[in-house]
Structure 1
Amino acid sequence: MEGLKLAAAKLVVYLHPSKAKNVADAIHGEISSLLFKFNETFDGVLLAYDTDFPSNLAKILPGVHPYFGVRLETKLLLFHPKPDMVLEGEVVRLSEQSIHVVILGFSAAAIMAEDIREEFKFKAKPGKEVFRSTIHKKHRIKIGTIIRFVVKSFDEEILHVSGSLLPAHTGCVKWLERHLEEWSQSDR
């Protein structure tokens, strides 16, 4: 899936002297406070990290509060979707006007009616809403389906994606993967 990237970072974490007894826990606490929030420095949402403590050296900072800085190296897993990237997510709600998706279990996405291909028609029975393709009868999108869609925009403040199902390579992932061979043969 696009939108995920690994990054290596050299950081300096500033800690209060009261945290000097257990520096490792204090560092993990500081970095953990950045999880699932967009960070401009990292240019993405921090999803996971793996920290190496190369040394026990710390530098005390002069000033009113005697904080100390610990240098460390860390590997970061970041999420930052950009327009035209392809993402996948699980459908959690359907209506005639929209499809609502959860990406990686924490970010929400909405695909509005004007961004859904015309071949998909909404059908509703009590408790069973579905978008069904009029061209390929087995291509369906319902609650619980994993879909592939294209990013239109990403709101960094609330971690919300606006998506589109207009391109032909979008829709139900299971159906797309089954019919990928047919498309590649017809393109030849």
Structure 2
Amino acid sequence: MDGLTTAKADLTVYVHPSKSNKLADAVRKQLSSLLFTYDELFDGVLLSHKISFQSNHAKILHGLIPYFGVKVRAKLLIFSPKPNMLLEGKVVKLSKESIHVIVLGFTSAAIMSEDIREEFKYKIKHGAGCFASSSHKWHRIKVGSMVQFAVKSVDEEIGHISGSLIPPQTGCVHWLLKHSADAVSQTNRSLKRCRD
């Protein structure tokens, strides 16, 4: 899935003097407060961090409350979706007008009817709605399906993604994996015949 990146960063974390006896916990708590929210510094949403201390020395900041700065090296996992990237998510709600998806368990995405390819028709099967492909009988999108979609736009403030199922490499992940595996095996068979 696009949009996930790892980064190494040298950071200075500012800690209150009352937390100096449990410094590692204080630093982790400070960085954990940034988890699952958009941060301009990282240009994305911080999903996880692993820290190591660079030295035993800290720089004291003078002022009303003398915080001290601790230098740490951190490995970060950042979610930073951009337009035209391919993302995967689980369908949680489906109607004739839209498909609502949860990406990585915390970010919502909406795919509106004008962003769904014409081959997908909304149908009601066994009392539940689904989008079924008119080109491929078993290509269906229903509640609980994992879908791969293209990013149209991202609203960082509220953490909402607008998606699209127009590109051909989008749709139900299960069907896409099986379909691409069939295409690869057919290509391998034809290459083997050519060599023989």
TM-score by length of 2: 0.91
1:183: Cα distance to partner? Answer: 4.8
Partner Cα distance (2:70, 2:127) in 1: 55
Moved over 3 A (4+): 181-186
Partner Cα distance (2:8, 2:127) in 1: 47
1:64: Cα distance to partner? Answer: 2.2
**Identity, % of aligned positions:** 58
Q: State yes or no: 1:52 paired with 2:38.
A: no
Q: State yes or no: 1:150 paired with 2:150.
A: yes
Q: Kindly provide the amino acid, as one letter, of the partner of residue 5 in structure 2.
A: K
1:55: Cα distance to partner? Answer: 2.1
Name whichever of 117-126 and 168-177 sits farther off. Answer: 117-126
Q: Kindly provide the amino acid, as one letter, of the partner of residue 33 in structure 2.
A: S
2:21 corresponding residue in structure 1: 21
* Pairing 1:103-142 to 2, within 5 Å after superposition: 103-125=103-125, 127-142=127-142
TM-score by length of 1: 0.95
1:58: Cα distance to partner? Answer: 0.8
- Structure 2: gaps of 5 or more residues: 191-196
1:104: Cα distance to partner? Answer: 0.3
Q: What value does the CA root-mean-square deviation take over the aligned residues?
A: 1.5
1:53: Cα distance to partner? Answer: 1.4
Partner Cα distance (1:169, 1:66) in 2: 55
2:5 corresponding residue in structure 1: 5
Partner Cα distance (1:78, 1:42) in 2: 7
Find the residue that maps to 1:144 and give its secondary structure: coil
- Structure 1: gaps of 5 or more residues: none
Partner Cα distance (2:28, 2:75) in 1: 13
Find the residue that maps to 2:36 and give its secondary structure: coil
1:128: Cα distance to partner? Answer: 1.2
2:193 corresponding residue in structure 1: none
* Pairing 1:69-88 to 2, within 5 Å after superposition: 69-88=69-88
1:101 corresponding residue in structure 2: 101
2:194 corresponding residue in structure 1: none
2:63 corresponding residue in structure 1: 63
Partner Cα distance (2:74, 2:182) in 1: 43
1:181: Cα distance to partner? Answer: 4.2
Partner Cα distance (1:41, 1:137) in 2: 46
